Chain A
């Protein structure tokens, strides 16, 4: 994942994740009738510095080690907690989102917040650590799902054994579909990413496929078919249509030669550079055409053994980050 979506995801989660999903439950509590001396033992045994005070399930106050020290100083150690506790307690609601707790931590400079439900019953205690752990877990789930997809896709060629295993992706391309144009190439690129193809290969295939796809959209009468055949060491893109066909292939291959209508040129296409681009991206290409019958373009891109293994292992990062030239 690139940095942008991750940051966005955490921002989203802070708003999405309810406090009840991350709060620590089963916390140690005392009753208002507990004596300060009993409290001392509870704090010592459990190695905690304070506890919520609960009466009949409801949160009625909070008592801390500081209150205990003051009680010891004033010789009031047998007093009930009720007399020494703080009753104005800052709390958060269990069904609020985590962002509310984050705000209160910052506003009141406290390290923990009692969490209550809509009736004022104590649900648990929330710390900054709980929030961090909850966010990490939530992201981990997302991250894991994508990792599993990638892992499965990447091992297709190892899992399925044959003399020649290939994955065939087939797309019907509609003529003049300028708005939707490129969606087939986009899917091919994504498939290669999941399969773990190196970023440079992904880009070369995507560019060649996209130029071929746009040619079908711009130049054909009835659209055509774009097929990507992915094998462990080679990717073959085939674009076929049934007309109108190219009169002079040699001329068509010349950079700058174009038969595109003006409206296409004004949209940034049809400048006669498409086939030259495809040629540059491919290891070999073959263009066959007959006027009135149709055109077949075949592009072959070989996957070189990857020099640094990091390339193949993290293709998604490479999309944005790796310098490949």
Chain B
């Protein structure tokens, strides 16, 4: 699924400039614990989260997460946006709860980032 389609499904707004909307997203995960995000680490994944602190971007950088969607219209602070810009990780704000957004994306055919037993 392309990032463009995801943004349409969650009615999101892109918070960082220069985003490649045709980027292919392989799977999605809804998570608020950064260690959990690091555990499912897969390239080209989409993270839906209720956290907006800079560590979310750091975690995405370490785990090669392709893009981050913030739930319930939460807006990250300037530090978070600056770090995302520096690392080239698109940030998207969307109005719905994590439950609603996971549901919508699942209905739209998005795959889940399933946990591997082996790291990778």
Contact = CB atoms under 8 A, between A and B. Distances in A.
On whether A and B touch (CB less than 8 Å), the answer reads: yes
Interface of A: 2-5, 7-8, 11, 178-179, 181-183, 185-186, 189, 199-200, 203-204, 206-207, 210-211, 214, 267-269, 271, 273-274, 276-277, 280-281, 318-325
A274 B64 contact: no
Interface residues of B, number: 36
B58 A182 contact: yes
B18 A268 contact: no
Interface in B36-85: 36, 38-39, 41-44, 49, 51, 53-56, 58-59, 61-64, 66, 79
Given A207-B38, A210-B38, A281-B119, A179 B88 contact: no
B44 to A, nearest CB: 7
A207 B41 contact: yes
Contacts, number: 112
A189 B49 CA distance: 24
B43 A189 contact: no
A325 B51 CA distance: 27
Top-3 shortest CB links A-B: A182-B58, A273-B35, A8-B18
A302 B42 CA distance: 20
Contacts of A207: 38, 41, 62-63, 119
26 contacts: A3-B20, A4-B23, A4-B88, A179-B79, A182-B59, A182-B61, A183-B58, A186-B62, A186-B87, A200-B120, A203-B64, A203-B120, A206-B63, A207-B38, A207-B41, A210-B59, A267-B53, A267-B55, A268-B32, A271-B33, A271-B36, A273-B36, A277-B35, A280-B39, A325-B42, A325-B116
Contacts of B108: none
> DSSP class of A's interface residues: helix, strand, loop or mixed?
helix
